[in-house]
Structure 1
Amino acid sequence: MGYPKDLLSSRSIIKHGLYALIAPEGLVNNVIPGFENCTMSILGSPQLGATFVDYIVTMHEGGKNTQGYCGQADVECFVYVLSGKVKAKADDQEFILGESGYLFCPPGVTMYLENMEAGDSRLFLYKQKHKPLEGKKPWVVSGHSNDIEYRDYDDMSNVHIKDLLPMDLDFDMNFHILSFDPAASHPFIETHYQQHGAYLLSGEGMYNLDNEWIPVKKGDYIFMGPYVHQAAYAVGREPLTYVYSKDCNRDPEL
């Protein structure tokens, strides 16, 4: 990037264990073994206070992970295609994922990724340790969010949600897409046990994090820790939309 053209500044805000807003212009690259010809940045992680790890991945022409990702007996992973097209495999199952495509791999299933574009493909990648439940076992899930109909969120006709994974006790987490029409908001400021990692797909808004109203926009990443106040208003001329993870379906451990 060369020498700066102005004073060094950042919109990013880091409150370890509570919340974080990470703006794209401040991201640095990380070397992740197994990913070839890829630019990767680690977003949420245990060092931030999350129980999961989120990445932004840019797969350049020929980018791939031939040795596989995750696959451990107690780790599950998920990938969402932000742009471009990739070939994704879950062990011996193969999927072609365009923009809005996704793949969930349960514990013990290895994910393989390969860029199918002449240019770049961009991915939102996630992993966490699975919390088992007796008699329950998650399975491989793939699809495209653009093929899923929105439903009203909390009976609000200007806020919409999609569920990307089954609402089933076999799964200890889910991914959703939440979209606010311009001027729409959450029905109340939420305070809850669950934590989130969210990547903003479109729009602009004001996000309440720990009772601080913070401007956010497309390309930002937000980590929301347990019990941190959270709510959003959409501003501007297009919907504020983001894809996010949520831990669910498990009793807190003592």
Structure 2
Amino acid sequence: MSSSKYFSSMGGLPPQTELLSSKAVFTTAYAVIPRSVMTDIVTSYFPHWDGTRAWVISRPLTGFSETFSQYIMEVQPGGGSERPEPDKRAESVLFIVEGEMTVEFESASHEMRSGSFAFLPAGSAWKLRNKSAAPVKFHWIRKAFQEVEGLAAPSAIFTHEDQHAPAAMPDTNGSWATTRFIDPDDLRYDMHVTIVTFEPGGVIPFMETHVMEHGLYVLEGKAVYRLNTDWVEVEAGDFMWLRAFCPQACYAGGPGRFRYLLYKDVNRHMPLW
């Protein structure tokens, strides 16, 4: 595991002596992609990116989770892209889990490191380059922006986790908290990406059931997560992908903190087909 506080040890290939059994599962309500399956042979390569590979861990899928895609990107020294985003409708969030990189956004350069967060509005001009001597790894979440008449377009955000104090959930004594990078009252944004933290013993004490789709990537620690009718043990490096209305709960047994990067769609009416 990396010295980073965020899990970033993807890649490699299990030995021929490894057992085939795994907690990887895809159901009609949720999917679990454990870190053990994020090997070299499942990586993807994208046009106009050099020195780069990616693990695609979610994509819009009709009848399942339809709002977002999520990649784990690995960019070698000198690698990156002058044309990273091919879809003018796509807004992006970048969250760095290891290393350093430079993002050029509308002629301004932003130096990003482990723990840095960026929101890039749809249709914006941006470039990305790893100018360091070591690989950089980051999550890239993409969503087609839902424009609203009379509502201004969202602004770009460049920040770092260290600049945001976790907000404790009510009546939890700080055992369950959320680090928010986007103001939850700002309706210009149609998605949120946050970090959820549970101290040992912290729980989601009810079965959450809601319309928001989720991607949950475990950054640190371990817990038992309830997904629909199943309890699943998850650890740093595992990814959970939840469709709308999938019941969920959590128990973080320790010994350390349990933290995950959370995507959810927000602030928009439901489309009527």
Shared fold (TM-score greater than 0.5)? yes
TM-score (norm 1): 0.94
The answer to whether the aligner puts 1:222 opposite 2:236 as a matched pair is no
Structure 1 portions without partners, runs of 5+: none
- Structure 1: distance between partners of 2:78 and 2:21: 34
Q: Which residue of 2 aligns with 1:6?
A: 18
Aligned partner letter, 1:11: K
Q: Which residue of 1 aligns with 2:179?
A: 162
- Structure 2: distance between partners of 1:125 and 1:166: 20
1:5-57 C-alpha deviation (Å, 9 max, x unpaired)? 133222211124x2111112212111111221112111111236332110011
Aligned partner letter, 1:163: R
Asked if the contact 2:65/2:244 (under 8 Å) is kept, the reply is no
User: How do 1:24-43 residues align onto structure 2 when only pairs under 5 Å count?
Assistant: 24-27=35-38, 28-43=42-57
1:47-70 C-alpha deviation (Å, 9 max, x unpaired)? 363321100111122221122325
Q: Find the residue that maps to 1:25 and give its secondary structure.
A: helix
How many residue pairs align between the two structures?
252
Which of these residues, 116, 119, 128, is aligned with residue 101 of structure 1? 116
Q: Which residue of 2 aligns with 1:192?
A: 210
User: How do 1:6-155 residues align onto structure 2 when only pairs under 5 Å count?
Assistant: 6-16=18-28, 18-27=29-38, 28-47=42-61, 49-70=65-86, 72=88, 74-136=89-151, 137-155=153-171
Asked if the contact 1:87/1:114 (under 8 Å) is kept, the reply is yes
Asked if the contact 2:179/2:194 (under 8 Å) is kept, the reply is yes
Which of these residues, 251, 266, 273, is aligned with residue 233 of structure 1? 251
Q: Find the residue that maps to 1:187 and give its secondary structure.
A: strand
- Structure 1: distance between partners of 2:86 and 2:227: 31
Asked if the contact 1:22/1:220 (under 8 Å) is kept, the reply is yes
Structure 2 portions without partners, runs of 5+: 1-12
Give the C-alpha shift of residue 88 in structure 1.
1.2
Q: Give the number of the structure whose residues are more often strand, by fraction.
A: 1
Superposition CA RMSD, Å? 1.6
- Structure 2: distance between partners of 1:155 and 1:71: 43
Identity %: 25
Give the C-alpha shift of residue 145 in structure 1.
1.1
Give the C-alpha shift of residue 159 in structure 1.
0.8
Aligned in 2, Cα 1:186/1:70: closer, same or farther, shift over 3 Å? farther
